[in-house]
Amino acid sequence: MRIAVDAMGGDYAPTEQVRGAIEAAKLDGTEIILVGVEERLKEELSGYDIEGLPITIVNASEVIGMDEHPAFAIRKKRNSSIALSMDLVKSGEADGVVALGNTGATVAAAIMKLGRIPGIERPAIACPMPNKEGFSLLLDAGANADCKPLHLLHFAIMGSIYMEKIQRIKAPSVGLLNIGEEPGKGSELYINAHKLLRESDINFIGNIEGRDIMAGKVDILLCDGFVGNVILKFAEGVGATIFDILKMEVEKSPLAKAGGALLKPSFKTLKKRMDPAEYGGVSLLGVDGVCVIGHGNSKAKAVYNAIRAACQGVEGNVVNAIKNYITHLGDGMGDE
């Protein structure tokens, strides 16, 4: 398994990228291609004993910053670490790519370099959303702010294949995130998507509501990229707010303070379970290659998890499974 890692993207690049990559090479024997400014990477690697580890470097003279305009930056910086990482997958020198920097630029680079899977108009970001039991897959988590009903159907198909191949869930259940349970509820987009989903052969259980998101009711939480992105970021923020308010309450009484101290380990576990960043990044589904996008603030462990997620994507052969499904979906349906 050969994974190209964009070593220059993210808040702690390349230090944490290199550390996470070394872990993956050491623990799992994953072949790592670090893509970035060669000198900088060599310097970083010199701090570790990496003899015998399958780690190579591909030099990239340019880096795309977190604040740069995605499509514009990708077109302008042809030798950026993210663009060259994608090139390695396209040419077959790598089996998958892991990026932790500018999400928009990563999506733009993947679409431009790897291309879309034929029949899929819009690739989607699939993100693990923690719940009581484990996690559901939320998609689209932000790649497409404006969607058509057919896009939502494609997201549902891609999410189902992902959960089947990677999480080994047979006929994973799909819930359409909506503002009411009845089929006629919601905006025009959701009413029409509901109809398409009912007619499809995925395991569509109908509409679900906001209160079901973390209840673990379904394997796949289906929505457009605008709603998905708001939900994802809300989930990231709500935990922090709840802890802040609880802290304020606890400070008011010595007894509660003592209780808070005793509960510290439980809080820590809870915080970890609730943090989407713990799940090793999000997957870009619908492009012709395996692409995992980690959180910009990833430390070594998150980088390692993202590399592992990419390996799972390659092993599960998700890309080919999507290709096959879409090809057999029906004449012209994917071409609208």
Binding site residues, its own copies, CB under 8 A: 131-132, 142, 145-146, 177-179, 185-188, 190, 209-215, 223, 225-227, 229-239, 241-242, 244-246, 248-250, 252-253, 255-256, 258-263, 265-267, 269-270, 273-274
> Which stretches of 138-187 are DSSP H helices?
149-165
183 phi and psi angles, rounded to 5 deg: -55, -30
Contact indicator for 44, 14 with CB cutoff of 8 Å: yes
Q: How far is the CB of 104 from its own copies (least distance, A)?
A: 8
Q: How far is the CB of 18 from its own copies (least distance, A)?
A: 29
Closer residue to its own copies (CB): 198 or 268: 268
Q: Which amino acid is at 220?
A: I
Q: Is the peptide bond before 288 cis (omega within 30 degrees of 0)?
A: no
Q: Is the peptide bond before 265 cis (omega within 30 degrees of 0)?
A: no
Closer residue to its own copies (CB): 223 or 291: 223
Closer residue to its own copies (CB): 126 or 213: 213
Closer residue to its own copies (CB): 15 or 192: 192
Closer residue to its own copies (CB): 27 or 238: 238
Q: How far is the CB of 158 from its own copies (least distance, A)?
A: 20
Measured CA to CA, the distance from residue 208 to residue 270 in angstroms comes to: 25
Q: How far is the CB of 122 from its own copies (least distance, A)?
A: 13
Measured CA to CA, the distance from residue 173 to residue 160 in angstroms comes to: 8
Handedness of CA 163, 169, 171, 173 (dihedral sign): negative
Interstrand relation of 290-293 and 203-208 (parallel, antiparallel or unpaired): unpaired
Q: How far is the CB of 297 from its own copies (least distance, A)?
A: 13
